[in-house]
Amino acid sequence: MSSSKQPASTSFKAPDSSCLQLDEQGRLRHFLTTEGLSKDVLTEIMDVAESFSTVSNQAVKKVPVLRGKTIVNLFFENSTRTRTTFELAAKRLSADVISLNIATSAAAKGESVLDTIRNLEAMHADMFVVRHSDSGAAHFIARHVAPHVSVINAGDGRHAHPTQAMLDMFTIRRVKNEFTNLKVAIIGDILHSRVARSQIHALNILGAKEVRVIAPKTLLPSDVDSLGVHVYGDLRSGLNDVDVIIMLRLQRERMGGAMLPSEHEYFECFGLTQAKLAYAKPDVTVMHPGPINRGVEMDAAVADGPNSVILQQVTNGIAIRMAVMTLTMGHNRVGG
């Protein structure tokens, strides 16, 4: 392996995706972040997902779009829902799927990320789905893969989770039909949430009328004013006239120190109940990327209630991930 291709360090710098995600024809090559993409690209992802939305209802839940391709799920961080939906999406596209158990892989024995990638490329992998606890990991890998390989970011540190954001956008579009008149409130741990950042970028790109964040000051990033949102410190004013509520999970594993007095106090102030739901529009849609901490972020009556589309989000995640895999591999239609 040429030393010119191997960086001196595998520390992950601040991501710059401006020239990474699209090829010379403006088509997706990698999907690393929603930030910086156009409305047309995000709309195309949702349109292709719509074409895949009925595959799961077929007797044979497969289409031959990626037959003969090899997709490697490279999860350096634990996940159940995301990993499972990526596996299902790849299998329903007829791809060969390898899910690498990092805990028992060579990486646990000291092998570098790039050496892991090079070895998998030598096995003729066509795509890496990467989840990592460090921000910028997927971008780092995308900068060093072979030209024919695509990389999808399945979540990196506090930075981005673009497929989660897109399944949320797809769910909103299916329920509300459009974005231009929508007021959307994102509630909870904005500071540590890669999902929130990706959602905010996507909502602004798609032309949402207003994006609000509602959180205690300790759970807001210092650059929150630069994200294109309106900030609220209480639910009553923040939920007024809102069309969509997106609740976030408290990111306990990423918190350092006592950022909250207690989960009980958090629920009293920012947890969503039926009574607090009345602050928003009567037909408000309630979402959560999961997993839900019931009694902390929302109560069971809201999570399981008529306004909730949380299970639809999970289902839509398969179609969105099928769409992203298809587009990044150079296809733009079912059977393409």
Q: Which pLDDT value is given to residue 104?
A: 59
Task: Supply the pTM of this predicted model.
Answer: 0.90
CATH superfamily of 162-314: Aspartate/ornithine carbamoyltransferase (3.40.50.1370)
pLDDT band at residue 103 under the 50/70/90 scheme:
low
Distance CA 282, CA 303 (A): 16
Distance CA 113, CA 132 (A): 11
- What percentage of the chain has pLDDT greater than the value 70? 87
Q: Which pair of tokens denotes residue 250?
A: 């408290």
On average, the pLDDT of the chain sits at 89
- pLDDT tens per residue, range 183-234: 999 999 999 899 999 999 999 999 999 999 999 999 999 989 899 999 999 9
Please tell me if the domain spanning 39-160+316-328 has the same topology as the one spanning 162-314: yes
Distance CA 184, CA 210 (A): 6
E strands present in 119-209: 127-132, 150-156, 183-187
- pLDDT tens per residue, range 238-288: 999 999 999 999 876 545 555 676 788 889 999 999 999 999 999 999 999
At the second CATH level, the architecture of 39-160+316-328 is: 3-Layer(aba) Sandwich (3.40)
Distance CA 255, CA 259 (A): 7
3-state DSSP assignment of residue 131:
strand
The mean pLDDT value for 83-110 works out to 84
Listed by start position, the domains of the chain span 39-160+316-328, 162-314
- In this predicted structure, the answer to whether residue 37 has a pLDDT above a threshold of 50 is yes
Residue 247 contacts by C-beta under 8 Å, 6 or more apart in sequence? Answer: 187, 188, 272, 286, 287, 288, 292, 297, 298
Q: Which pLDDT value is given to residue 138?
A: 95
